[in-house]
Structure 1
Amino acid sequence: MPAPDNEQTAPARRRRSVSARQASTDLALIAAFAALIAACSLLPALYLGGGLVPITFQTFGVLLAGAVLGARRGFLAVLLYLAVGAAGFPVFAGGSAGLAPFAGPTAGYLISFPLAAAITGFLVQRLPRRRLATSVPLILLAGLAGSFTVTHPLGILGLMWRADLSAQAALLTDLVFWPGDVVKNLLMALVATAVHRAFPDLLPSRR
């Protein structure tokens, strides 16, 4: 009597099909945001703070990945971006590539990026879904949390470690970037709310 088996396996096949489509969509989004971060990184850079660390739109792309994709996919998108750069593709600021940037003054900032995206995504995922399309201040705060709990502290440690700066000198160097990061976080929040307004089901469900 094959009918019962067919009835039991049909839902399983549907679940596998849905899972496969979701995995394919996730991979496409992760790759797309990795490419977006690369494009943001390759925009003309402005060097401040003694010329040690460039100002780019890199952090805009990193935090947007978390705010739009959520913690896990945002983390993976940034990790893919870093892996592509480490493999030798010129996707880091100024067109640099390879492992050298991970041994230079920007090492702390680069290492912080996946964590910043994950923190931002984690916080955004906890916002009420009905408010995502209009929650610019809340998404802004989520992005600032990612920036100022991870990126700037690790960036300062990286400057102390790889640029041989004192803690005070590293902090003063990092302070130069704070106003720009606030502006980039605001832009990120505006773009993220527009994306969620257009694609209300893009963010994963809370677990």
Structure 2
Amino acid sequence: MASSRRTSTDLALIAAFAALIAVCALLPTIEVGVVDITLQTFAVLLCGAALGARRGFLAALLYVVVGAAGLPVFSGGAAGLGVLTGPSGGYLIGFPLAAGLCGLIVERLPRHQVATSVPLIFVAGLVGSFAFIHPLGIAGLVLRADLTWGEAFRLDLTFWLGDAVKNLGMAIVATAVHRAFPDLLPRRAPAAPAAAPARESA
């Protein structure tokens, strides 16, 4: 019974955070070239920082899958596989991976620091963002927007300051969430006891 209740809670959290990404995508955007500036990355990285690696990854993946399936949850109300294969598709593909990596880092922080250390969660968000979202976004621009690698990098560079601000906001919200719900992250498996040294026989 406890396992079933835990599974239901996990599914509800995954769905709720996927919906949060959709809401942030549908808020007013700023268009920069062929890519829009939205609050999506704030919500994507919050998925990982709040839910942990597995559930954060699944929440961001659910958002991408639902949008690709035709629900108008992408930036500006767009939908369909055409968005994933368009100029901004690389950024979307990076979302689940970034959420998972951010969550993986946060899960490994000492539990007493998760609810109090904005800088550590801020860094976890930056690592997730710059490991996956930006590189895959640049690759998508090169492949789908007919830009050179240098042009794609310079376009992506215009998002860096905004992403840093969004990451800071994400870290502040994530620490507040963990103060309110200290058991939200998955429990760590207990460490295996160290094996006793074998005695040497005389």
Q: TM-score, normalised on structure 1?
A: 0.90
CA distance in 1 between counterparts of 2:151 and 2:30 reads: 20
Question: Secondary structure of the equivalent of 2:31?
Answer: strand
Match of 1:13 in 2: none
Pick one of 19, 27, 31 that aligns with 1:47. 31
CA distance in 1 between counterparts of 2:11 and 2:176 reads: 22
Question: Secondary structure of the equivalent of 1:84?
Answer: helix
Match of 1:37 in 2: 21
CA distance in 1 between counterparts of 2:153 and 2:15 reads: 34
Q: Which amino acid aligns with 2:35?
A: V
Aligned length: 189
> Shift of residue 83 of structure 1?
1.1
Percent identity between the two aligned chains? 67
Residues 31-110 of structure 1 correspond to what in structure 2 (within 5 A)? Answer: 31-48=15-32, 51-110=33-92
Q: Which amino acid aligns with 1:167?
A: W
Match of 2:94 in 1: 112
> Shift of residue 205 of structure 1?
1.9
The superposition leaves residues 114-162 of structure 1 with CA deviations (integer Å, 9 ceiling, x where unpaired) of 0000000000000011111111000000000001111101111010000
Match of 1:154 in 2: 136
Match of 1:6 in 2: none
Match of 2:197 in 1: none
Match of 1:10 in 2: none
CA distance in 2 between counterparts of 1:54 and 1:205 reads: 37
> Shift of residue 190 of structure 1?
0.2
Q: TM-score, normalised on structure 2?
A: 0.92
Question: Secondary structure of the equivalent of 1:200?
Answer: coil
**Which 4+ residue blocks in structure 1 deviate beyond 6 angstroms?**
none
> Shift of residue 171 of structure 1?
0.3
Q: Which amino acid aligns with 2:121?
A: I
CA distance in 2 between counterparts of 1:101 and 1:170 reads: 18
CA distance in 1 between counterparts of 2:186 and 2:177 reads: 14
CA distance in 2 between counterparts of 1:115 and 1:159 reads: 18
The superposition leaves residues 6-50 of structure 1 with CA deviations (integer Å, 9 ceiling, x where unpaired) of xxxxxxxxxxx11100000000000000000000000001012xx
CA distance in 2 between counterparts of 1:97 and 1:164 reads: 22
CA distance in 1 between counterparts of 2:120 and 2:13 reads: 23
**Structure 2 gaps, min length 5:** 190-202
CA distance in 2 between counterparts of 1:174 and 1:154 reads: 11
Question: Secondary structure of the equivalent of 2:188?
Answer: coil
Match of 2:115 in 1: 133
Q: Which amino acid aligns with 2:185?
A: L
Q: Which amino acid aligns with 1:35?
A: A
The superposition leaves residues 160-194 of structure 1 with CA deviations (integer Å, 9 ceiling, x where unpaired) of 00001101000000000000000000000000000
Which structure features the higher share of helix residues? 1
> Shift of residue 206 of structure 1?
2.9
**Structure 1 gaps, min length 5:** 1-16
Question: Secondary structure of the equivalent of 1:134?
Answer: coil
